[in-house]
Amino acid sequence: MKRNLGAVNCLYPMPITLVGATVNGKPNFLTVAHVGIMNHAQPTYISAGLGKMHYTNAGIKENRTFSVNIPSEDMVVETDFCGIVSGKQTDKSTLFELFAGELKTAPMITKCPVNIECRLYDIIDFPTHDVFIGEIVAAYCNEDVIRDGTVDLIKVKPMLFDMGRKSYWKLGEPFAQCWDVGKQLKTK
Amino acid sequence: MKRNLGAVNCLYPMPITLVGATVNGKPNFLTVAHVGIMNHAQPTYISAGLGKMHYTNAGIKENRTFSVNIPSEDMVVETDFCGIVSGKQTDKSTLFELFAGELKTAPMITKCPVNIECRLYDIIDFPTHDVFIGEIVAAYCNEDVIRDGTVDLIKVKPMLFDMGRKSYWKLGEPFAQCWDVGKQLKTK
Protein backbone atom coordinates (compact mmCIF):
# COMPACT_ATOMS: atom_id res chain seq x y z
CA MET A 1 0.00 0.00 0.00
CA LYS A 2 2.93 2.33 0.73
CA ARG A 3 5.66 2.68 -1.83
CA ASN A 4 9.16 3.62 -0.66
CA LEU A 5 10.43 6.24 -3.12
CA GLY A 6 13.87 6.39 -1.52
CA ALA A 7 15.51 9.47 -0.07
CA VAL A 8 13.40 11.83 -2.18
CA ASN A 9 12.13 15.21 -1.02
CA CYS A 10 8.33 15.27 -1.17
CA LEU A 11 7.74 18.38 0.97
CA TYR A 12 5.73 20.18 -1.68
CA PRO A 13 4.14 22.46 -2.74
CA MET A 14 6.22 25.41 -1.55
CA PRO A 15 5.65 29.10 -2.30
CA ILE A 16 7.60 30.53 -5.20
CA THR A 17 9.64 33.61 -4.35
CA LEU A 18 12.06 35.97 -6.04
CA VAL A 19 15.09 36.46 -3.83
CA GLY A 20 16.66 39.87 -4.34
CA ALA A 21 20.19 41.00 -3.55
CA THR A 22 22.69 43.60 -4.63
CA VAL A 23 25.42 41.82 -6.55
CA ASN A 24 28.43 43.70 -7.85
CA GLY A 25 26.57 46.95 -7.19
CA LYS A 26 23.43 45.99 -9.13
CA PRO A 27 20.07 44.53 -8.10
CA ASN A 28 19.65 40.88 -9.02
CA PHE A 29 16.79 38.42 -8.59
CA LEU A 30 16.69 34.63 -8.41
CA THR A 31 13.62 32.37 -8.36
CA VAL A 32 13.64 30.29 -5.18
CA ALA A 33 11.01 27.89 -3.83
CA HIS A 34 13.27 26.13 -1.35
CA VAL A 35 12.38 28.51 1.44
CA GLY A 36 11.26 28.01 5.01
CA ILE A 37 9.91 29.58 8.17
CA MET A 38 12.09 29.02 11.22
CA ASN A 39 10.10 30.44 14.11
CA HIS A 40 7.11 32.49 15.15
CA ALA A 41 8.48 35.15 17.46
CA GLN A 42 10.24 38.50 17.36
CA PRO A 43 12.59 38.56 15.60
CA THR A 44 11.26 36.14 12.98
CA TYR A 45 13.68 34.15 10.87
CA ILE A 46 13.08 32.68 7.43
CA SER A 47 15.38 30.64 5.19
CA ALA A 48 16.22 30.50 1.50
CA GLY A 49 18.34 27.66 0.14
CA LEU A 50 20.41 28.66 -2.89
CA GLY A 51 22.70 26.40 -4.87
CA LYS A 52 26.30 27.57 -4.60
CA MET A 53 26.57 28.03 -8.37
CA HIS A 54 24.22 31.00 -8.25
CA TYR A 55 25.30 34.59 -8.84
CA THR A 56 23.14 35.92 -6.00
CA ASN A 57 25.02 34.24 -3.14
CA ALA A 58 28.06 36.51 -3.21
CA GLY A 59 25.86 39.60 -2.99
CA ILE A 60 24.01 38.33 0.07
CA LYS A 61 27.33 37.50 1.75
CA GLU A 62 28.83 40.87 0.89
CA ASN A 63 25.95 43.11 2.01
CA ARG A 64 24.43 40.73 4.56
CA THR A 65 20.95 41.64 3.28
CA PHE A 66 18.41 40.12 0.93
CA SER A 67 14.73 40.35 0.06
CA VAL A 68 12.08 37.70 -0.48
CA ASN A 69 9.45 38.88 -2.96
CA ILE A 70 6.21 37.01 -3.57
CA PRO A 71 5.06 37.28 -7.18
CA SER A 72 1.45 36.90 -8.31
CA GLU A 73 0.24 34.40 -10.90
CA ASP A 74 0.30 37.12 -13.54
CA MET A 75 4.09 37.40 -13.09
CA VAL A 76 4.74 33.75 -13.97
CA VAL A 77 6.74 34.54 -17.12
CA GLU A 78 9.16 37.00 -15.47
CA THR A 79 9.36 34.78 -12.39
CA ASP A 80 10.31 31.72 -14.39
CA PHE A 81 12.75 33.76 -16.47
CA CYS A 82 14.64 34.74 -13.28
CA GLY A 83 15.16 31.03 -12.60
CA ILE A 84 16.38 30.29 -16.14
CA VAL A 85 18.98 33.00 -16.74
CA SER A 86 21.89 33.79 -14.45
CA GLY A 87 22.92 37.26 -13.36
CA LYS A 88 26.40 36.27 -14.53
CA GLN A 89 25.25 36.60 -18.15
CA THR A 90 22.03 38.60 -17.95
CA ASP A 91 21.39 41.93 -16.26
CA LYS A 92 18.10 41.41 -14.39
CA SER A 93 18.24 44.84 -12.72
CA THR A 94 15.94 46.47 -15.28
CA LEU A 95 13.34 43.71 -15.46
CA PHE A 96 11.20 45.18 -12.68
CA GLU A 97 10.42 48.51 -11.07
CA LEU A 98 12.23 48.38 -7.74
CA PHE A 99 12.17 50.04 -4.35
CA ALA A 100 14.48 49.98 -1.35
CA GLY A 101 13.62 49.63 2.32
CA GLU A 102 15.58 50.54 5.40
CA LEU A 103 18.49 48.21 4.64
CA LYS A 104 19.08 49.91 1.25
CA THR A 105 20.91 46.89 -0.27
CA ALA A 106 17.94 44.49 -0.37
CA PRO A 107 16.22 45.46 -3.65
CA MET A 108 12.48 44.76 -3.76
CA ILE A 109 10.06 44.40 -6.66
CA THR A 110 7.20 46.91 -6.66
CA LYS A 111 4.91 44.69 -8.73
CA CYS A 112 5.20 41.78 -6.26
CA PRO A 113 2.31 42.27 -3.83
CA VAL A 114 4.39 41.14 -0.85
CA ASN A 115 8.05 41.94 -0.13
CA ILE A 116 10.03 40.77 2.88
CA GLU A 117 13.23 42.61 3.76
CA CYS A 118 15.84 40.55 5.60
CA ARG A 119 19.09 41.07 7.38
CA LEU A 120 21.37 38.03 7.08
CA TYR A 121 21.48 36.21 10.39
CA ASP A 122 23.42 33.07 9.50
CA ILE A 123 24.38 30.74 6.66
CA ILE A 124 24.05 26.97 6.84
CA ASP A 125 26.90 25.75 4.71
CA PHE A 126 25.98 22.55 2.86
CA PRO A 127 28.36 21.14 0.23
CA THR A 128 26.25 22.33 -2.70
CA HIS A 129 23.96 24.94 -1.10
CA ASP A 130 24.07 28.05 1.03
CA VAL A 131 21.00 28.25 3.23
CA PHE A 132 20.60 31.93 4.04
CA ILE A 133 18.74 32.56 7.27
CA GLY A 134 17.34 36.05 7.35
CA GLU A 135 15.93 38.10 10.18
CA ILE A 136 12.79 39.84 8.93
CA VAL A 137 13.29 43.59 9.24
CA ALA A 138 10.10 44.66 7.48
CA ALA A 139 7.33 43.40 5.22
CA TYR A 140 5.86 45.63 2.54
CA CYS A 141 2.54 45.02 0.81
CA ASN A 142 0.58 46.60 -1.95
CA GLU A 143 -2.43 48.40 -0.47
CA ASP A 144 -4.80 46.43 -2.69
CA VAL A 145 -3.90 43.06 -1.10
CA ILE A 146 -4.58 44.19 2.46
CA ARG A 147 -7.84 43.33 4.17
CA ASP A 148 -8.47 44.10 7.84
CA GLY A 149 -4.82 45.03 8.31
CA THR A 150 -3.33 41.75 7.09
CA VAL A 151 -2.38 40.24 3.77
CA ASP A 152 -5.22 38.57 1.87
CA LEU A 153 -3.85 35.65 -0.13
CA ILE A 154 -6.94 35.63 -2.35
CA LYS A 155 -5.70 38.96 -3.67
CA VAL A 156 -1.98 38.08 -3.63
CA LYS A 157 -2.52 35.03 -5.86
CA PRO A 158 0.82 33.45 -4.93
CA MET A 159 2.27 30.61 -6.99
CA LEU A 160 3.28 27.27 -5.57
CA PHE A 161 6.03 25.00 -6.80
CA ASP A 162 6.37 21.26 -7.00
CA MET A 163 9.65 19.65 -8.01
CA GLY A 164 8.02 16.35 -9.02
CA ARG A 165 6.02 17.82 -11.90
CA LYS A 166 8.17 20.98 -12.27
CA SER A 167 4.93 22.93 -12.21
CA TYR A 168 3.61 26.25 -10.98
CA TRP A 169 0.32 25.83 -9.15
CA LYS A 170 -2.42 28.26 -8.25
CA LEU A 171 -3.61 28.57 -4.69
CA GLY A 172 -7.17 27.33 -4.16
CA GLU A 173 -9.74 28.53 -1.65
CA PRO A 174 -9.62 28.75 2.15
CA PHE A 175 -11.91 26.06 3.53
CA ALA A 176 -11.41 25.73 7.29
CA GLN A 177 -10.18 27.70 10.29
CA CYS A 178 -7.02 26.71 12.14
CA TRP A 179 -7.19 26.02 15.87
CA ASP A 180 -10.92 25.68 15.41
CA VAL A 181 -12.13 22.95 13.05
CA GLY A 182 -10.38 20.29 15.16
CA LYS A 183 -12.16 21.25 18.37
CA GLN A 184 -14.99 18.83 17.56
CA LEU A 185 -12.66 15.93 18.38
CA LYS A 186 -12.12 17.25 21.91
CA THR A 187 -15.64 16.32 22.93
CA LYS A 188 -15.23 12.70 21.91
CA MET B 1 1.32 52.35 -2.72
CA LYS B 2 3.39 50.07 -0.47
CA ARG B 3 2.45 49.74 3.15
CA ASN B 4 5.14 48.82 5.69
CA LEU B 5 3.59 46.21 7.97
CA GLY B 6 6.63 46.11 10.24
CA ALA B 7 8.72 43.03 11.01
CA VAL B 8 5.88 40.65 10.17
CA ASN B 9 6.32 37.27 8.52
CA CYS B 10 4.38 37.17 5.23
CA LEU B 11 6.01 34.07 3.72
CA TYR B 12 2.72 32.26 3.22
CA PRO B 13 1.07 29.95 2.32
CA MET B 14 3.11 27.02 3.61
CA PRO B 15 2.22 23.32 3.48
CA ILE B 16 0.60 21.89 6.59
CA THR B 17 2.34 18.83 7.99
CA LEU B 18 2.01 16.48 10.92
CA VAL B 19 5.42 16.03 12.55
CA GLY B 20 5.73 12.63 14.19
CA ALA B 21 8.10 11.53 16.93
CA THR B 22 8.35 8.94 19.66
CA VAL B 23 7.94 10.75 22.97
CA ASN B 24 8.22 8.89 26.26
CA GLY B 25 7.96 5.63 24.33
CA LYS B 26 4.77 6.55 22.45
CA PRO B 27 4.07 7.98 19.00
CA ASN B 28 3.02 11.63 19.05
CA PHE B 29 2.03 14.06 16.31
CA LEU B 30 2.09 17.85 16.12
CA THR B 31 0.67 20.08 13.39
CA VAL B 32 3.48 22.18 11.90
CA ALA B 33 3.40 24.56 8.93
CA HIS B 34 6.63 26.35 9.73
CA VAL B 35 8.70 23.99 7.63
CA GLY B 36 11.32 24.50 4.95
CA ILE B 37 13.47 22.92 2.27
CA MET B 38 17.19 23.52 2.75
CA ASN B 39 18.80 22.08 -0.36
CA HIS B 40 18.31 20.03 -3.48
CA ALA B 41 21.02 17.37 -3.36
CA GLN B 42 21.78 14.05 -1.75
CA PRO B 43 21.35 14.00 1.17
CA THR B 44 18.39 16.39 1.23
CA TYR B 45 17.66 18.39 4.34
CA ILE B 46 14.34 19.85 5.45
CA SER B 47 13.44 21.89 8.52
CA ALA B 48 10.58 22.03 11.00
CA GLY B 49 10.37 24.87 13.49
CA LEU B 50 8.68 23.88 16.75
CA GLY B 51 8.00 26.16 19.70
CA LYS B 52 9.95 25.00 22.75
CA MET B 53 6.77 24.53 24.77
CA HIS B 54 5.78 21.53 22.66
CA TYR B 55 5.80 17.96 23.92
CA THR B 56 7.29 16.62 20.67
CA ASN B 57 10.69 18.34 20.95
CA ALA B 58 12.08 16.08 23.69
CA GLY B 59 11.26 12.97 21.64
CA ILE B 60 13.08 14.24 18.57
CA LYS B 61 16.10 15.13 20.69
CA GLU B 62 16.10 11.74 22.45
CA ASN B 63 15.75 9.50 19.39
CA ARG B 64 17.24 11.88 16.83
CA THR B 65 14.49 10.92 14.37
CA PHE B 66 11.19 12.43 13.24
CA SER B 67 8.68 12.16 10.42
CA VAL B 68 6.94 14.78 8.32
CA ASN B 69 3.52 13.57 7.19
CA ILE B 70 1.44 15.41 4.61
CA PRO B 71 -2.29 15.11 5.30
CA SER B 72 -5.02 15.46 2.66
CA GLU B 73 -7.87 17.94 2.81
CA ASP B 74 -10.16 15.21 4.13
CA MET B 75 -7.95 14.96 7.24
CA VAL B 76 -8.45 18.60 8.22
CA VAL B 77 -10.27 17.82 11.48
CA GLU B 78 -7.66 15.39 12.83
CA THR B 79 -4.86 17.62 11.55
CA ASP B 80 -6.20 20.69 13.31
CA PHE B 81 -6.85 18.64 16.45
CA CYS B 82 -3.16 17.70 16.62
CA GLY B 83 -2.35 21.42 16.74
CA ILE B 84 -4.89 22.14 19.48
CA VAL B 85 -4.16 19.46 22.07
CA SER B 86 -0.76 18.70 23.54
CA GLY B 87 0.71 15.24 23.97
CA LYS B 88 1.33 16.26 27.57
CA GLN B 89 -2.40 15.90 28.28
CA THR B 90 -3.74 13.87 25.36
CA ASP B 91 -2.53 10.55 24.01
CA LYS B 92 -2.43 11.04 20.23
CA SER B 93 -0.86 7.63 19.56
CA THR B 94 -4.21 5.97 18.77
CA LEU B 95 -5.61 8.72 16.55
CA PHE B 96 -4.17 7.24 13.37
CA GLU B 97 -3.09 3.92 11.92
CA LEU B 98 0.70 4.06 11.94
CA PHE B 99 3.67 2.43 10.29
CA ALA B 100 7.41 2.51 10.88
CA GLY B 101 10.23 2.88 8.40
CA GLU B 102 13.86 2.00 8.67
CA LEU B 103 14.57 4.34 11.58
CA LYS B 104 11.86 2.63 13.72
CA THR B 105 11.37 5.66 16.04
CA ALA B 106 9.86 8.04 13.47
CA PRO B 107 6.16 7.04 13.50
CA MET B 108 4.29 7.70 10.25
CA ILE B 109 0.59 8.03 9.50
CA THR B 110 -0.75 5.50 6.99
CA LYS B 111 -3.68 7.70 5.94
CA CYS B 112 -1.38 10.61 5.02
CA PRO B 113 -0.61 10.13 1.33
CA VAL B 114 3.00 11.28 1.75
CA ASN B 115 5.38 10.52 4.62
CA ILE B 116 8.95 11.71 4.94
CA GLU B 117 11.25 9.89 7.36
CA CYS B 118 14.08 11.98 8.77
CA ARG B 119 17.21 11.51 10.79
CA LEU B 120 17.98 14.55 12.94
CA TYR B 121 20.94 16.40 11.47
CA ASP B 122 21.04 19.55 13.58
CA ILE B 123 18.98 21.88 15.76
CA ILE B 124 18.96 25.64 15.36
CA ASP B 125 18.43 26.87 18.88
CA PHE B 126 16.33 30.06 18.92
CA PRO B 127 15.13 31.48 22.26
CA THR B 128 11.55 30.25 21.78
CA HIS B 129 11.90 27.63 19.03
CA ASP B 130 13.87 24.52 18.15
CA VAL B 131 14.36 24.32 14.39
CA PHE B 132 14.90 20.64 13.67
CA ILE B 133 16.88 20.01 10.51
CA GLY B 134 16.31 16.51 9.23
CA GLU B 135 18.15 14.46 6.66
CA ILE B 136 15.59 12.69 4.50
CA VAL B 137 16.11 8.95 4.80
CA ALA B 138 13.07 7.84 2.84
CA ALA B 139 9.76 9.07 1.47
CA TYR B 140 6.71 6.81 1.44
CA CYS B 141 3.63 7.39 -0.65
CA ASN B 142 0.26 5.77 -1.07
CA GLU B 143 0.14 3.96 -4.40
CA ASP B 144 -2.93 5.90 -5.46
CA VAL B 145 -1.16 9.28 -5.43
CA ILE B 146 1.67 8.16 -7.71
CA ARG B 147 1.62 9.02 -11.39
CA ASP B 148 4.57 8.26 -13.69
CA GLY B 149 6.72 7.36 -10.69
CA THR B 150 6.32 10.64 -8.83
CA VAL B 151 3.83 12.13 -6.42
CA ASP B 152 0.81 13.78 -8.04
CA LEU B 153 -0.32 16.70 -5.88
CA ILE B 154 -3.74 16.69 -7.54
CA LYS B 155 -4.29 13.36 -5.82
CA VAL B 156 -2.49 14.27 -2.57
CA LYS B 157 -4.73 17.31 -2.00
CA PRO B 158 -2.34 18.92 0.49
CA MET B 159 -3.48 21.76 2.73
CA LEU B 160 -1.78 25.11 2.94
CA PHE B 161 -1.59 27.40 5.93
CA ASP B 162 -1.64 31.14 6.30
CA MET B 163 -0.99 32.77 9.67
CA GLY B 164 -2.66 36.05 8.69
CA ARG B 165 -6.14 34.54 8.32
CA LYS B 166 -5.42 31.39 10.39
CA SER B 167 -6.89 29.42 7.51
CA TYR B 168 -6.40 26.11 5.77
CA TRP B 169 -6.36 26.52 2.01
CA LYS B 170 -6.84 24.07 -0.82
CA LEU B 171 -4.26 23.76 -3.55
CA GLY B 172 -5.49 24.97 -6.93
CA GLU B 173 -4.50 23.76 -10.39
CA PRO B 174 -1.09 23.57 -12.07
CA PHE B 175 -0.99 26.24 -14.75
CA ALA B 176 2.56 26.59 -16.10
CA GLN B 177 5.81 24.66 -16.44
CA CYS B 178 8.93 25.67 -14.52
CA TRP B 179 12.14 26.39 -16.45
CA ASP B 180 9.96 26.69 -19.53
CA VAL B 181 7.29 29.40 -19.48
CA GLY B 182 9.95 32.09 -18.96
CA LYS B 183 11.95 31.12 -22.04
CA GLN B 184 9.88 33.52 -24.16
CA LEU B 185 11.69 36.46 -22.52
CA LYS B 186 15.05 35.13 -23.69
CA THR B 187 14.28 36.07 -27.29
CA LYS B 188 13.57 39.70 -26.45
Q: What is the pLDDT of residues B125-140, one digit of tens each?
A: 999 999 999 999 999 9
pLDDT band at B1 (very low <50, low <70, confident <90, very high): confident
What letter does residue B158 receive in the DSSP assignment? B
pLDDT at B9 over 70: yes
Average pLDDT (A110-135) is: 98
d(CA A1, CA B105): 20
pLDDT computed for residue A100 by the predictor? 96
B187 reaches A (C-beta below 8 A): no
pLDDT of A171 above 80? yes
State the average pLDDT over residues A106-123. 98
Q: What does the alpha-carbon distance between residue A101 and residue A130 come to, in Å, rounded to a whole number?
A: 24
- Would the pLDDT of A11 be above 80? yes
User: What is the enclosing helix (H) or strand (E) of A79?
Assistant: helix A76-84
- What percent of chain A shows pLDDT beyond 90? 96
Give the pLDDT confidence score for residue B22 in this predicted structure.
Answer: 98
Q: Given CB atoms, is A164 within the 8 Å cutoff of chain B?
A: yes
Whether the pLDDT of residue B149 is over 90: the answer is no
Mean pLDDT to the nearest integer, A102-124 = 98
pLDDT at A107: 98
Query: Taking the mean position of all CA atoms in its chain, how far away is CA B49?
Result: 10
Judged against a pLDDT cut of 80, whether residue A187 lies above it is answered with no
Q: Is A115 on the interface with B (CB under 8 A)?
A: yes
Task: Return mean pLDDT, chain B.
Answer: 96
Hey, which bits of chain B come out as E strands? 2-6, 14-15, 17-23, 26-32, 35-37, 45-51, 65-70, 98-99, 108-109, 114-125, 129-142, 146-147, 150-151, 159-162, 167-177
Say whether pLDDT at B60 is over 80: yes
pLDDT at A188 over 60: no
Q: What is the pLDDT of residue A175?
A: 98
Is residue B139 within 8 A of residue B132, CB to CB? The reply is: no
Separation of alpha carbons B106 and B118, rounded Å: 7
Residue B187 has pLDDT above 70, yes or no: no
B39, pLDDT greater than 60: yes
Does B100 contact A at CB distance below 8 Å?
no
Contact B1 A110 (CB under 8 A): yes
CB pairs under 8 A between A and B: 359
Whether the predicted interface score ipTM is above 0.90: yes
For residue A102, the tally of other CB atoms under 10 A from its CB is 11
